[in-house]
Structure 1
């Protein structure tokens, strides 16, 4: 089966991969149209459309099976542990993996145009914490997942390399406090985590109201999975009356909803906020960096 003649790699994906400045990434981009065509043929799929703007590490094609017209989604990405995590969850709280081949995933079709972010914040947060409770399971023996300790160590190294940026000099005390979170990884348990949980990675579905997608799975402290959720919709929160109090209430309410210590959630949130802030400084986006540092200070 031939690929659709108008297929092109989404621009967001191109920009993201090229920003890595990695020859392997460039090679993968060049091969991507052919990989999509191969997988469509392999699973006997009729393509409908490429999801735009799409993700920063994969391309998703909405399609249906040629034999029974069942709607599916084809995701082509570089090899990762995503499929292994989806197999563990087996559709419980996450999109169902139908098949896989060399980094390509055949998935049930969700409603990509209806993310959890489409709900008002209080309702979205309630649905998010309920979903996390379903996703948090003990990692199986001899699993392939990265440890939180390893990922947190890489984040700490990245922060150390950027804290000397001229724009980040005044953030020194926040940086020091955020880095204390790395020690928490030593006693966080062996929980399978989504790894990048946020409203945009939860989509409406037919067999369940909401399902998680696009995990970056790792094993460790469940409180880590709340960090990005605490930082979600940060622009809206910053523009609200009394943002400092609102930020603290959000963190406390999320921690209480999943019965985890608020101090651990705060620590991981500080680490993520500082990391993304320094990354924004490095990219020349001072406004985004300062907003995240301000949020971190509110906590």
Structure 2
């Protein structure tokens, strides 16, 4: 079978690939080797799939359905493996093998076409928030920071790119300044240190057999819970922008999520601002102006 990467993956990785990176070119051969090594039977490549990995629906030698996930090193697959192993299937997809020399992840099969996003908005937020709460655990014992990034470290790298983006797009400078000021205040005194999903949103919660809903695709990070919740606040941003009362809806959403998950409302607002501006500036930088403008308009409400 040909393991051609879906167009969405090609576009997304093309935006972030360093010069000379040939991971995509090698991907079909890498996938063939990973399948053969595990004696898997391939059903199909998941399309449109994700933006950072190739997802292949497979069956194991005993007929059990599974998923094989292959991601470039810059997507930190070993960090994802460590987080999934730590969660042990509680709230997240189950890891089906321990270490792997090729970096591929063999995962339990969920229902890839059924996410929490398919539910009505209020129900979707409730189910997504409940799933996220189960993931907020104490980080593993030992030298955890060798495995996982910290919120301060990750957002520090992002802050440097945001400053450069503000220089290139002066009209976004006020929002960037506000977002960076919020970030500086937030990282100065985090209220807790938990293992976080890192890139949580409604589409990252899929229907399962063991449990109704399970999280997939973490980019784990260690830090405060409000950081993890911030990305959920702007879910369905295009609908929020189109709504006449979008700004009021966002304020109510922040209040409702903060109260239901017991995080500080102002800290959630601050991280929502930072993450929206960071995503918006990055979208402008890589040539997605419509996405960037939506995100920055959303950020202006905060």
2:64 to 29, 46, 70: 70
User: Matches of 1:248 and 1:22 in 2, distance apart?
Assistant: 38
After the TM superposition, which segments of 4 or more aligned residues of structure 1 sit over 4 Å from their partners? none
User: Matches of 2:289 and 2:19 in 1, distance apart?
Assistant: 29
1:225-236 pair list within 5 angstroms:
225-236=228-239
1:41-120 pair list within 5 angstroms:
41-66=36-61, 68-79=62-73, 80=76, 81-99=79-97, 100-101=99-100, 102-120=102-120
Structure 1 residue 157 corresponds to structure 2 residue 138: no
User: Matches of 2:272 and 2:4 in 1, distance apart?
Assistant: 37
Shift of 1:196: 0.1
Match of 2:254 in 1: 251
Q: Tell whether the 8 Å contact from 1:185 to 1:221 is kept in structure 2 after alignment.
A: no
Match of 1:135 in 2: 135
Structure 1: unaligned runs, 5 residues or longer: none
Q: Tell whether the 8 Å contact from 1:185 to 1:220 is kept in structure 2 after alignment.
A: no
User: Matches of 2:109 and 2:202 in 1, distance apart?
Assistant: 18
Q: Which moved more, 1:278-287 or 1:230-239?
A: 278-287
Match of 2:179 in 1: 178
The alignment of Structure 1 onto Structure 2 pairs a total of residues equal to 291
Structure 2: unaligned runs, 5 residues or longer: none
Q: 1:282 to 1:30 in 2, by over 3 A?
A: closer
Q: CA RMSD in A?
A: 1.6
2:272 to 269, 273, 286: 269
Q: Which structure features the higher share of strand residues?
A: 1
User: Matches of 1:119 and 1:270 in 2, distance apart?
Assistant: 26
1:193-208 pair list within 5 angstroms:
193-208=196-211
User: Matches of 1:124 and 1:98 in 2, distance apart?
Assistant: 28
Shift of 1:23: 4.3
Q: Give the TM-score of the pair, scaled to structure 1.
A: 0.92
Match of 1:15 in 2: 11
Match of 1:32 in 2: 27
Q: Tell whether the 8 Å contact from 2:276 to 2:296 is kept in structure 1 after alignment.
A: yes
User: Matches of 1:109 and 1:44 in 2, distance apart?
Assistant: 16
User: Matches of 1:246 and 1:161 in 2, distance apart?
Assistant: 32
Cα deviation, 1:61-115, whole Å, max 9, x if unaligned, reads 101122x211011111124210000000000000000014131011000000001
Q: Which moved more, 1:201-210 or 1:274-283?
A: 274-283
Q: Tell whether the 8 Å contact from 2:3 to 2:31 is kept in structure 1 after alignment.
A: no
Q: 1:23 to 1:283 in 2, by over 3 A?
A: closer
Cα deviation, 1:227-275, whole Å, max 9, x if unaligned, reads 1101110111122231111111011111111010110011111111111
Shift of 1:220: 0.5
Q: 1:7 to 1:288 in 2, by over 3 A?
A: closer
